[in-house]
Chains A and B, each alone.
Chain A
């Protein structure tokens, strides 16, 4: 048996006849053959991309950073809410988002899930706890100069750069649904990663596309994402 997982947005991908790529047991859309000019949308307006494959771990407890630093080192500015940490033993990076003093949200590329889980299981102590909620959150990326306008259409959150700059994380109300919002710009393009509960994932995706039509929102797949990064 070869278990294959799918994201909550699978219905949309199938409807638009996406071609797929597998990332460590999860099917992701590589490309939508009949959707053109996605690259232009990302450059000039806004692109939307399914990033549900991310491994998402919630860390709770005291001394979380100290525990992580046993096996990772920081490679970005320590004053930001969102930071990059590189594994000391393996070749991968994790994204660490500070939700509260004793609560962190970690994103890891699915490709490195096994190594990451092995690290945290062996290094965890009785004051730090983690919960793997990877399957429980749908991830949606909005990237492009109008990405913030799409979010402003559906959320009262103050998305202005002076309030929510690059490398920030917040818990917000989006369409009256709880969401985690990361801002991690890519190649100087404003980029927002939204994580919502899986059971409303397709709903949120569809509504973002609906609200974003006004701004020229265009879905794109892994192939273009790899080009951009």
Chain B
């Protein structure tokens, strides 16, 4: 049942004294276009400027027509200004602050006198899509035209000297139920959900709860259970007080939800906070907004929505006019007329497109009693004026020839309402056009998402409240809360909703009448698109709403379709003779409001991994580089010197970044046998074996070493880059095979230092009682003991080709151990060496690095590591593919090469034979021992023989080299085993 308007509720405003949002005791001064302007605390820029007498707020996008306040609700582009250097700020949503510097946009030299307003006279030169059709012949014309268009297009601009100060605080929040919208439906939903025990977050974009009740004319409320109120003026304070009392409801004011993402993740911008709010369920009570009507010059300053008038009156205490015409097809125009009359506006004419019997009788009687002129079945054909409205031309619906002019300084219009559906669209709702309501409303269901109030098509406060309660009950049930006597409650609420639904007496107005096409009759205020532009575009073939949108740019401006989507669909419907429901809506994607990139930017820096010896390297002036996500020393000044030091004396390198896995369990040996190409279950305790991990297709994933600590305990190393994926691989296979194996990543738990060189043994011997001679500690074995009083695992391995050990120890002793080794090795000229020296040294031994020397096609067979594959094992991952490859024979092979002259190729340089690329260099360096360029190269099998001459293309030159199949340095590996 329709709310009864309290026709007698007279308002008594004088000189802004009764604006509910303003504090008359606090005056604020700010600048607008360099002129001092005054406001009261609580004013926004729009209300302050309007109160000061300003009527022109901006210039339109294409025609540079003067524009004034239209919606005072943040839904239109008419009041965009630049505030403290930030462009495109909606004046009606920006609270005034002391010393704000506000400037108008899109005009030159001034807002009142804009040179570019000549475009308004040149509309015939700029029909819809003109830039697709003109400026193309001759071609040079577009080069010039595009630069000019780019310069003058757009609205606000950013100064090069502008610095965006201040950071956004990021946070994550969770809630059982999130209610978006703090109007009566939202407040009712929040209270109901909390009553059932849910934690509720109520998000409201303005500073106050109450929604449209804050500015609408007071109405009577029909009796609703648990609500002992008879008038809407008390409802807001009552509901607000209940919300404040509730410990389960958190209210987020001044918070705008800009996007609804998967699994009810909501993106919220609240002042300088960027909030990711995750909800079990969401209730959208986002309300609706009023739409403008279409007629010629429907964009003049002084033409405002009825709801805008109510806001100026009730929230800001402003008397907006002396002489008003109010135009529309609903009772809302009568309420607005009475509101104006309450504050002393005597000259009012109502232009109602309906018949008199369609008007609420009480409103009609009151309007008549106040001698307000009413023209039934009349329409407005045209606004008259320039930078301010002077009057309008009205005519009977059945005879436009009987038009007449009515003088006014305010034309209040109401073209109907449209639900704020953007977030609902993102949540997955479909929409249908309700011809009685004359708007698109959500249809169907989406799991975990509910809606209530005006966004659902409610037209009364009772329905707002009841639909809020219904949505809350559904939401809490979905979230897993219990609702006592749920079936009874559901029936009860459905019945109440049914009782309060209005049986509409409305007839569908002929859509044609609502869309005037003559002159400049705007559909899209943002992009200056006219009704006739839409018709023209459809005539040119853009008859689908999506292509029509992109061609005309309707809904693509700052309002993103808020003001125009509804009318746009209707215009398309009329022109294509397809019903509005079928024409449908275009999609509103996130963000719904402009979101600064600074707000989205992750305030957390990129993760950087550092070893426990990181500070020691920096103190030694190491040249640090990013290797993967780690910071590692590339060298300490001279990598060649470092490499030679390892060859001739002793060096140490921090190899803590090696991946390390602890494998325990009765099935550990079998497990590793399955994953690796080599065999480990037969490994003797304390022995080490090199291992290659292959994928199912036999290609190399990673390599490393496996050390057997005991029958049920293995220590595995992987490459630095491979540890995360290998850990996942191991765990996946553990689950698949259901073996008793436990895998723990101990990469960070143990740091590692590789000590290598002829004097490595002498150095280490000073720090440990472990016997290091080859007889007691042979190559590829391990011992657990103490070095420098620290419990360590010593692995005798040799990546760089010299006698050496990897010392694995608890990371907290990283700096201590590094210092201890340097001190012990001082007499032997110990040198720290970096990654670059290590690369040179290992390359001289033809030791491969996965993903450097291998690619996605590399197998152990074509990488020269067939020796590491045990084909006699029952099974291992990749076996079938490798057996196939072996039987087929190799196509290519990774072998060494040495240059014939002094030039050194780069990694990746191609091998060219007979003018064609046949292979590539995987790694190349200069050998400090041999004084020549050398490396590893992948070649077709026919070329992969000792001494085969090849040519490598280096910097555009084909340089001679020859194939070497054995390592350059210590080919028999004798030094390793000393």
Query: B-contacting residues of A (Cβ < 8 Å)?
Result: 1-8, 10-11, 26, 52, 58, 60-61, 126, 129, 131-137, 149, 152-160, 162-163, 175-177, 197-200, 202-203, 207, 210-211, 214
Most buried by B among A160, A162, A177, A199: A199
Q: Which residues of A contact B713 (CB under 8 A)?
A: 129
- Interface majority SS (helix, strand, loop, mixed), chain A: mixed
Known contacts A176-B607, A199-B611: A153-B748 contact under CB 8 Å: no
In the bound complex, residues from chain A placing their C-beta under 8 Å from that of B173 are: 152
| Residues on B facing A (Cβ under 8 Å) | 169-174, 199, 276, 278, 603-605, 607-612, 615, 630, 656, 662, 664-666, 712-713, 742, 744, 746-751, 788-790, 810-813, 815-816, 820
- State the Cβ distance, A210 to closest chain B Cβ, in Å: 8
CB within 8 A of B813: which of A3, A8, A152, A155?
A3
Contacts A126-B666, A198-B612: A133 and B749 contacting too (C-beta < 8 A)? yes
- Whose C-beta in chain B lies nearest to the C-beta of A160? B174
Q: By the criterion CB–CB under 8 Å, are B278 and A158 in contact?
A: yes
Could you tell me if B604 and A211 are in contact, using CB atoms closer than 8 angstroms? yes
A135-B811 in contact (CB<8A): yes
CB atoms of B746 and A136 under 8 A apart: yes
Chain B contact residues, majority secondary structure: mixed
* A129–B604 touching, CB < 8 Å: no
A-B CB contact pairs (8 Å), 5 listed: A135-B811, A160-B174, A162-B199, A163-B174, A211-B603
Q: How far is the CA of A154 from the CA of B605 in the complex (A)?
A: 12
Among A8, A10, A176, the most chain B Cβ lie within 10 Å of the Cβ of A8
**Measured between alpha carbons, how far is A214 from B167 in the docked complex, in Å?**
11
Contact of A135 among B172, B749, B789 (CB under 8 A): B749
B788 touches A199 (CB 8 A): no
Known A136-B749, A152-B173, A199-B630: A58·B666 in contact at CB below 8 Å: no
Q: How far is the CA of A176 from the CA of B615 in the complex (A)?
A: 25
Q: For A158, what are the chain B residues with a Cβ–Cβ distance below 8 Å? A: 174, 278
Contact of A149 among B171, B610, B611, B812 (CB under 8 A): B171
Are B789 and A2 in contact, with the CB atoms below 8 A? yes
- A3 with B816: CB separation less than 8 A: yes
Point out the residue from B170, B609, B664 that lies within 8 Å of A131, measured CB to CB. Answer: B664
* Most chain B CB inside 10 Å of its own CB: which residue of A10, A61, A129, A153: A129
Query: In chain A, what residue has the closest Cβ to B711?
Result: A126
Additional A-B contact list (5), CB under 8 Å, known A3-B788, A137-B749, A153-B170: A60-B742, A132-B749, A134-B812, A155-B172, A207-B605
The 8 closest A-B pairs by CB, nearest first: A136-B749, A5-B812, A135-B810, A60-B742, A136-B748, A129-B664, A135-B811, A199-B609
**Are A198 and B811 interface neighbours, CB within 8 A?**
yes
Give Cα A5–Cα B749 distance, bound, in whole angstroms.
13
Among A2, A4, A58, A175, which residue has its beta carbon within 8 angstroms of that of B604? Answer: A175
Q: Are B749 and A61 in contact (CB under 8 A)?
A: no
CA separation between A213 and B749, bound complex, in Å?
A: 30
Chain B residue, CB-CB nearest to A53: B812
CA distance A216 to B276 in the complex (A): 22
B744 touches A153 (CB 8 A): no
- Do B604 and A154 touch across chains, with their CB atoms under 8 A apart? yes
B748 and A60 contact, CB distance less than 8 A? no
Q: Is the CB of B604 within 8 A of A197?
A: no
Closest chain-A Cβ to B816's Cβ sits at a distance in Å of 5
Instruction: Specify which chain A residues have a CB less than 8 angstroms from the CB of B609 in the assembled complex.
Output: 197, 199-200, 203
Contact call B612/A8, Cβ cutoff below 8 A: yes
A200–B607 CB distance below 8 A: yes
Contacts of A203 in B (CB 8 A): 605, 607-610
Closest partner residue, chain A, to B610 (CB atom): A199
Measured CA separation A56–B875 after assembly (Å): 37
Residue of B nearest to A60 (CB): B742
**Given A7-B812, A202-B610, are A156 and B278 neighbors across the interface (CB < 8 Å)?**
yes
Could you tell me the distance in whole angstroms from the C-beta of A162 to the nearest C-beta in chain B?
7
**A207 (CB) vs chain B CBs: closest residue:** B604
Minimum distance in angstroms from A75 CB to a CB of chain B: 28
Identify which of A129, A132, A159 contacts B665 (C-beta below 8 A): A129
Task: State A211–B612 Cα separation when bound (angstroms).
Answer: 25
Contacts of B656 in A (CB 8 A): 199
Kindly state the separation between the CA atoms of A210 and B170 in the bound complex, as whole angstroms. Answer: 12
**Residues in chain B near residue A134, CB distance under 8 A:** 749, 810, 812
- Would A60 and B744 count as touching, CB distance under 8 A? yes
Contact B813 A136 (CB under 8 A): no
CA gap between A175 and B605 in the complex, in Å? 9
Output the residue of B615, B656, B820 with the most chain A CB within 10 A. Answer: B615
Nearest residue (CB) in B for A1 is: B789
Write out the residue numbers on chain B whose beta carbons fall within 8 Å of the beta carbon of A154.
170, 604
CA gap between A152 and B173 in the complex, in Å: 7
Q: A133-B746, A203-B608 are in contact. Are A11 and B664 (CB under 8 A)?
A: no
B666 touches A3 (CB 8 A): no
Contact assessment for A214 and B607 in the assembled complex, using a CB-CB cutoff below 8 Å: no
- Which residue of A3, A6, A60, A149 has the most chain B CB atoms within 10 A of its CB atom? A3
Selected contact of B169 from candidates A153, A156, A197, CB within 8 Å: A153
Select which of B170, B712, B744 is within 8 A of A133 by beta carbon: B744
Could you say which residues of chain A place their CB within 8 Å of the CB of B811? 135-136, 198
Residues on A with beta carbons closer than 8 Å to the beta carbon of B750: 135-136
A134 to B744 alpha-carbon distance, docked (Å): 13
Cross-chain contact of A6 among B712, B742, B812 (Cβ < 8 A): B812
For B788, the chain A residues whose CB sits under 8 A away are 1, 3
Distance in Å: Cβ of B482 to nearest Cβ of chain A:
15
Q: Which residues of B contact A26 (CB under 8 A)?
A: 812
User: Closest CB-CB distance, A192 to chain B, in whole Å?
Assistant: 14
Which chain B residue has the least Cβ–Cβ distance from A137? B748
Whether A197 and B666, one on each chain, are in contact in the complex, defined by CB atoms closer than 8 angstroms, is: no
Q: Which of B170, B748, B810 has the most CB of A within 10 A?
A: B748
